[in-house]
Amino acid sequence: MYMTLCLQRTLQQTPEQMATIFGARRQTYRQFADRVARLASALCELGMAPGDRVGMLALNSDRYLEYIMGVWWGGGVLNPVNTRWSVAEIVYALDDCDTAILIIDEHFLALADAIRAGARNAPCLIYAGEGPTPAGMLGFDELIAQARPMADAGRGGEDLACIMYTGGTTGFPKGVMQSHLNLWSACMPRMVDMPPIPGGRLLQVAPLFHVAGMARALIQFLAGECHVLVSSFEPLAVLQVIERERISETLLVPTMILALLDHRALPRYDLSSLQRLTYGASPSAGEMVERLLARFPALELSHSYGLTEACPVVSSNLPCNHSASARASGLSRSVGRGGLGLQVKIVDPQGQEVPRGTVGEIIVRGPNVMQGYWNKPEETAQALRNGWLYTADGAYMDEQGYLFIVDRLKDMIVSGGENIYSAEVENVLARHPAVAQCAVIGIPHAQWGEAVHAVVVRQSGAQVDEDQLRRHCRAFIAGYKCPKSIEFRETLPLSAAGKVLKRELRAAFQ
């Protein structure tokens, strides 16, 4: 099981199939595979030995996909760099796993000198942007043009494929070690549940340095279908690409979906080609789903839950559970059931499985679970116990095995001795027609220990105040769960994956 096998299969069977579309650049799988084999050869000439790490700091492009497959073709290991990091975080990730080669595009050239100066061993920089190659760097396209294609190194199975550094909510990030088998085992069950659309075109909007974006790209490679890429999310550009390239499916986070639904140009574009949309990164998307299906009633919706350590998908809620009856029953608010080949349980702090309907921690076991954290044995031992991955996500499971996320365990609010799950409060707030986005956190309180605090982004042009939202909440949840304070903002702080950064919201109250 090695990830370049899918490229070899497509090259053998459908070499003239369109592989990538990025702006005006288009290439078939024959052309793509040739560039991959040449890039692999060039990287090896630069010193990449089997198992060596190669980084990339860039926005989405066809070159990013060439980097993924080219490093693997040459026997190397990916180190995709988070584009939202500071120089200190980037340097840490490069130094931590001895990354000697870094590919960089034009968007991050301003960081290059600081990265070289700060790194323990200055990486060899390869420029993969538009325009001439800057002094002191090698050119991505020039290296490919000058190299002779090499044979696939064929590394696979338990060989390390990727080190993906987590966001680093406390201290510096941890490098999640993913093998070829991990990635393969994560993609295949998803393909069984949701086979890629034959002849379809995937719009790659989610960042490729993130596990969700990369995993979806790998599924498209396994199917031998076409990737259409945009460098980053911009609502108007996404609408234009969907219409122009006749996109059939995409992966978005709720903040992206809401931005599209709220865009004034939406009615002007023909989005009839879009058959399927997968969303994730948020358990509180009920009202968004209603709005989306009201606008696109034939659209197939799928919700996925996962984490980097599981490469990433743990469970999926399929289109059948987004029907009108499923939405009325609340089933659409689930994150689905565990995928094929996985074991999923809800356990108490002692690791014992709890009764159905009882909140506990999600733990997962399966071939998709990471090998561990790079050079962090203590953190690995904490996350991987007796063969199980402890996710630190709080949830309950119903009698049919559906998972309902309630909170990150560290985000649970304890007020007056009562456990309050922020996702429950967020779901209720999100039902109000004036609320576009919301996040709920616990803030210090002299009497109750913690109090429920909500941060709300209003719908464009909508008016609502604190008292109105409190009355709305009291109609659905107990009084002690309702926000004691509410603030209104223009935007919420988001990670590169589209998740709300609650640590930034809490910072003002610490």
Question: Does the pLDDT of residue 29 top 50, yes or no?
Answer: yes
Amino acid at 236: L
Alpha-carbon distance values, 86 to 61, 118, 172, 298, 416 (Å): 22, 12, 11, 42, 39
Domain membership of residue 84 (yes or no) is yes
Tokens of 480: 């002690």
Q: What is the mean pLDDT of residues 44-72?
A: 98
Task: Give ∠ CA 470-474-480 in degrees, rounded to 5.
Answer: 90
Domain membership of residue 213 (yes or no) is no
136 and 33: one domain?
yes
Tell me how far apart the alpha carbons of residues 252 and 213 are, in angstroms, rounded to a whole number: 9
246 and 123: one domain?
no
25 and 152: one domain?
yes
Give strand ranges (E) for 368-415. 372-373, 384-385, 388-397, 403-408, 413-415
- Return all residues near 405 (Cβ < 8 A) that are at least 6 apart: 283, 305, 335, 393, 394, 395, 423
Question: Does the pLDDT of residue 168 top 90, yes or no?
Answer: no
Tokens of 47: 């010193």
Tell me how far apart the alpha carbons of residues 117 and 20 are, in angstroms, rounded to a whole number: 35
Sign of CA dihedral 426, 317, 335, 199: negative
3-state secondary structure 142-159: HHHHHCCCCCCCCCCCCC
Question: Does the pLDDT of residue 487 top 90, yes or no?
Answer: yes
**pLDDT at residue 494, as a whole number:** 87
CB of 272 within 8 A of CB of 243? no
CB of 67 within 8 A of CB of 180? no
User: Where in the sequence is the domain holding 28, given as residue range(s)?
Assistant: 21-187
276 and 138: one domain?
no
487 and 434: one domain?
yes
335 and 454: one domain?
no
State the helix-helix crossing angle for 29-45 and 62-73, rounded to 10 degrees.
60
CATH classification at residue 324: 3.40.50.12780
Tell me how far apart the alpha carbons of residues 443 and 451 are, in angstroms, rounded to a whole number: 5
- CB atoms under 10 Å from CB of 349, counted, come to 8
461 and 376: one domain?
no
Domain membership of residue 197 (yes or no) is no
Q: Which of 273-282, 306-315, 400-409 has the highest mean pLDDT?
A: 306-315
**pLDDT at residue 169, as a whole number:** 37
Tell me how far apart the alpha carbons of residues 119 and 117 are, in angstroms, rounded to a whole number: 6
Question: Does the pLDDT of residue 316 top 90, yes or no?
Answer: yes
Overall domain count for the chain? 3
Question: DSSP labels for 187-253?
Answer: HHHHHHHSPPPTT-EEEE-S-TTSHHHHHHHHHHHHHT-EEEE-SS--HHHHHHHHHHHT--EEEE-
Q: What is the pLDDT of residues 109-124, one digit of tens each?
A: 999 999 999 999 999 9
Domain membership of residue 278 (yes or no) is yes
Q: Is 86 exposed, middle or buried (0-12, 13-18, 19+ CB in 10 A)?
A: exposed
Q: What is the mean pLDDT of residues 307-321?
A: 94
